[in-house]
Chain A
């Protein structure tokens, strides 16, 4: 019987296994994961799980019963260490090996480690164990210093405030939070949101060191100032878990290098899914690696289809989508929204807390949006992006038409 081995048992791996069955795959499916705990989902780690309103059980992705029913053999607590393409085998840390017909690499990414060392009190956030340790630390109170104002850092700051931690400071060498995806105007509104909730922001200044000091930590900044902390969270990005493929003949370059079908450029039966995949995006005409939940799920569906239907290969060319929950704000980013593109603001029912910023390319076609607290606008924008090349004016009219009639608030154009 044919066998697909999937290495990495989080959302990318689990959804590939499930989608294989949904596509009618009849072979064996083996899902290998290095963690001992049952597969769980990551977005809640910086939100509900850290806040204590979700549990390890409630964020589980594949209960044992569901795995058995779907015929998915789970191998927990076993890290993959190497692959032999010639022998069609994955080597595991416990010395055993599993043979495959198709191999799906879904090993995700790990938190970039602190360049300032790891004295007690310094945390990163990537795994359930990380979240549990950080949650326990935050329940001891503050002060908390968050280094890095990307999604994870901003969410940790917001959750910590919700937990009652006093003295929360966010530090980032760039001038505004979430600068990789937000234009400066929107980013400064996010900064203002944090400040309204009592978070101190130190943007535009880098960290030079983190040193243990009288029972706590001292964070030293490039301008010579220092911050005292009981807990420091380092949220400075993630690194793909592709080193275990070194020497296998599977090319990696900041992720497993794949063609447009998410298939390794070296072997038509090796695939990659999720945060660890770097694939050729046909619409963007460049190779990309994306660290977003929905991308992992869509890529899993695509790879499962391609394994089952080799004569009808599908390209993975998604429209980017990521969400983030901070305080009472739901922030959604779709498509391409960075840099200095032209953009317009459309206010929703309560324009100070619900709005959409729509972005356009030089030719006036709609490229992406940042949407705050306005799900209907999110749907409209995602639909327009899926169609492709819709004029900004059209999307703007469609979004403006969504305003709840009863409020009578006019969209503020900018």
Chain B
């Protein structure tokens, strides 16, 4: 298992992460990312990391727990 972290203050609502992994990320009415699941399986890690790399303000991180 890996843990997904979001810096809500940094998020600018570009929605790139959602396009990469909409089962893990969503956005609220104010345009701030919502992490739908904080834990992801190792098998999905590469895909979720790619979604995190697509964030223009580096607001997302996928870390070992």
Contacts and interface: CB of A to CB of B under 8 A. Distances in A.
Contact of A301 (B12, B14, B31, B50): B50
A255 to B, nearest CB: 22
Contacts of A298: 54
B53 A18 contact: yes
B53 A297 contact: yes
B49 A379 contact: no
Contact of B15 (A15, A41, A375): A375
Chain A at the B interface: SS class: helix
A274 to B, nearest CB: 14
A378 B19 CA distance: 11
B50 A379 contact: no
Nearest to B49: A22
B23 to A, nearest CB: 13
Given A375-B27, A376-B27, A382 B50 contact: no
7 closest Cβ pairs, A-B complex? A375-B31, A375-B13, A379-B15, A297-B54, A375-B27, A378-B15, A22-B46
A19 B15 contact: no
Interface size class of A (residues with CB under 8 A): 20 to 34
Interface residues of B, number: 19
A216 B18 CA distance: 48
A323 B13 CA distance: 10
A376 B26 CA distance: 9
B41 interface: no
Nearest to A374: B31
A382 B18 CA distance: 10
A376 B18 CA distance: 11
Given A375-B27, A376-B29, A330 B13 contact: yes
Interface string B39-61: 00000001001100110100000
A43 B16 CA distance: 15
A103 B23 CA distance: 34
Contacts of B19: 382-383, 386
A294 interface: yes
Interface string A346-376: 0000000000000000000000000000111
Contacts of A379: 15, 18, 26-27
Given A18-B53, A23-B46, A294 B16 contact: yes
Interface string A55-73: 0000000000000000000
15 contacts: A18-B53, A19-B50, A22-B46, A23-B46, A294-B16, A294-B56, A330-B12, A330-B13, A332-B14, A375-B13, A378-B13, A379-B18, A382-B15, A383-B22, A404-B29
A327 interface: no
A22 B54 CA distance: 13
B59 to A, nearest CB: 13
A382 B14 CA distance: 11
A301 B49 CA distance: 11
Interface of A: 15, 18-19, 22-23, 41, 43, 293-294, 297-298, 301, 321, 323, 330, 332, 374-376, 378-379, 382-383, 386, 404
Most A CB contacts (10 A, CB to CB) among B15, B18, B26, B53 go to B15
Nearest to B50: A301
A15 B16 CA distance: 15
A379 B15 CA distance: 6
Contacts of B22: 383
Contacts of B54: 294, 297-298, 301
Given A378-B15, A386-B19, A15 B29 contact: no
B26 to A, nearest CB: 8
Given A382-B15, A383-B19, 14 more contacts: A19-B50, A19-B53, A22-B49, A23-B46, A43-B56, A294-B16, A297-B16, A323-B14, A330-B13, A330-B31, A375-B15, A375-B31, A378-B15, A379-B27
A15 B50 CA distance: 10
Nearest to A18: B53
